[in-house]
Chain A
């Protein structure tokens, strides 16, 4: 309970520390604005024009449904790869043979360009939800798999012996010895994969589906509407930034606390 209260008391300080990130982002917006002044609105609409356009899209009710469809696909693909990647990676990490065996296969998967998977997926699944979901899954899988594999491979054998010597119950061994270590490898992999899924899904939608942010981007490109394109991009990046700083980063800090506490 106290822990929870301390955690909640830390929220304002955490939110306030976001000002540092905002300072950098504002400098980036300045650079963007400068670029748009050099190349003109047709090539690169400025941040203000983009945000106004985004506001218009939201007001017109066009933004949220597309974003929801995209988010659903990204998260489905991500959840699948999270489950498969974590379980298979951990299993492979338990055995030296399995990890040696799986390495080259993972290298092949990582080396395969997502756009190639997309082409295959289009041939296999046609246009529809399955294509972007599969592309996201197959692109995220190796990242999570490698994270889980390394987490399992680097488990401290001495700690295991200590736990054994003290006859720690299995449940405690798992939750206090193995879990923190494995999670500290898994979690960064999950975050990297989530960012990846968000990018891949837009790319897949651009070529494969009639709806979603990617499709909206394709439409605005066809209309040579750079402002609308930038608005969609800003929406996607904005959502990613929000998720990253409001949800994932706090959890990451929490999970990695034990490292600094050592």
Chain B
């Protein structure tokens, strides 16, 4: 690409703020990946010949392709907001986006190219993100967001393990680290989201606080399970620790029981994320202890369910607010979120049905429902993410316009 074309591309509104290209990539890639995976399972497409086999491909692309894009989008927007540092400039953002795309291509082709190009490009992407975030997070007085940096570094370490050691083992580690990252990120978002909602509704006397001891217990329990699963997969010790993670996540929900305001969508959707996560660990624990072949179903509760829904919630909130729009109050959001949850439950059901010897029809239904949610997202968010801001503000700023119905709208 010539220097001129690069500059012209970087001037596109898509590169106005860090989340824009990556949230778009997340949703587009979600649809593409699941379409490809379903076609592969149905036999319409050949299975990718990557090292570690098709399941490693499936998991790697969903975690280090899709989830990593959303993590990049989130951190590129959140770190400047949390620490007050400058947002990433357009040319760097375009460079990051191209590197992410190259990483995808290299991994898809790793069957013939070998793992080295994929490893180099994907690790370079994570390392670039780390080098962008480490200085501002470290300089921040009191370093309140250091845990996010640690989680990203752990994600990078697990990524190296995926390429240079046993892929599936390290992908399980990566899934655990992502769960921790979700708890860390959600606690930061939910404080502002829920208290913003309570302010807007004029509620006094109800107070939501994400209490650090409970959060620390949850992340500790998840970390302990992840380490145990790495050291002794399938061991009863790992099973008990999965149950401990479940209990610690349910314990986190003590903060969330704030009466009927729980049913407000901006409270309820993050709440469901924790439920799915807790149920996922619960199912994994029960499966290990009872010897059921349901560990994979539990993992899908964590990833298809909790992770996807967390990504969805963060994207519909931050994706609008930092593009200059107020929060979306339309019906499609609960609909798409519901599709994700139903798709997850159908996916779990399909594991039970496979276990008792029934067909894989449910696998297809689950994939379709999940993809439909992301198609809905793309339909609503394509103009928001790729178009110019509706106000005069620039970059990642919150909406500069007055809200149309001032009482009911709020920023996160």
**A interface residues, Cβ below 8 angstroms from B:** 12-13, 16-17, 19-20, 22-27, 29-30, 33-34, 37, 46-48
Q: Which residue of A lies closest to B243 (CB)?
A: A26
Say whether B314 faces chain A, with CB atoms less than 8 Å apart: no
User: 6 closest Cβ contacts across the A-B interface?
Assistant: A26-B244, A30-B240, A23-B247, A19-B251, A22-B247, A23-B248
Min C-beta distance of B301 to chain A, whole Å: 18
**How far is the CB of B384 from the nearest CB of chain A, in Å?**
38
Residues in B with CB closer than 8 Å to A48 are 236, 289
The majority secondary structure among interface residues of chain A is: helix
Q: Which of B214, B228, B254, B257 contacts A30 (CB 8 A)?
A: B228
Q: Is the CB of A26 within 8 A of B241?
A: yes
Are B224 and A27 in contact, with the CB atoms below 8 A? yes
Residues of the A chain whose Cβ atoms lie less than 8 Å from the Cβ of B272:
none
Instruction: Give the A-B contact count at a CB cut-off of 8 A.
Output: 65
Contact yes or no, A13 B257, CB < 8 A = yes
From the candidates B246, B251, B254, name the one contacting A13 in the complex (CB within 8 A). Answer: B254
- A residues near B244, Cβ cutoff 8 Å: 22-24, 26-27, 30
Cβ-based interface call for B10 (8 A): no
Chain B residues with a Cβ under 8 A of chain A: 214, 217, 221, 224, 228, 235-238, 240-241, 243-248, 250-251, 253-254, 257, 285, 289
Contacts of A24 in B (CB 8 A): 244
Chain A residues with CB under 8 A of B245? 23
Please tell me if the beta carbons of B217 and A20 are within 8 angstroms of each other in the complex.
Answer: yes
Name 6 A/B residue pairs within 8 A (Cβ), A-sorted: A19-B247, A20-B247, A23-B247, A24-B244, A26-B247, A47-B236
Contact A19 B236 (CB under 8 A): no
Given A26-B247, A48-B289: A19 touches B240 (CB 8 Å cut-off): no
In the bound complex, CA of A27 to CA of B222 (Å): 11
A165 CB to nearest B CB, Å: 37
- Contacts A13-B257, A16-B257, A30-B244; A23 near B237 (Cβ below 8 A): no
A260 to chain B, nearest CB (A): 17
Contacts of B289 in A (CB 8 A): 48
Contact A19 B237 (CB under 8 A): no
Contacts of A33 in B (CB 8 A): 236-237, 240
Of A12, A16, A25, A46, the contact of B236 (CB 8 Å cutoff): A46
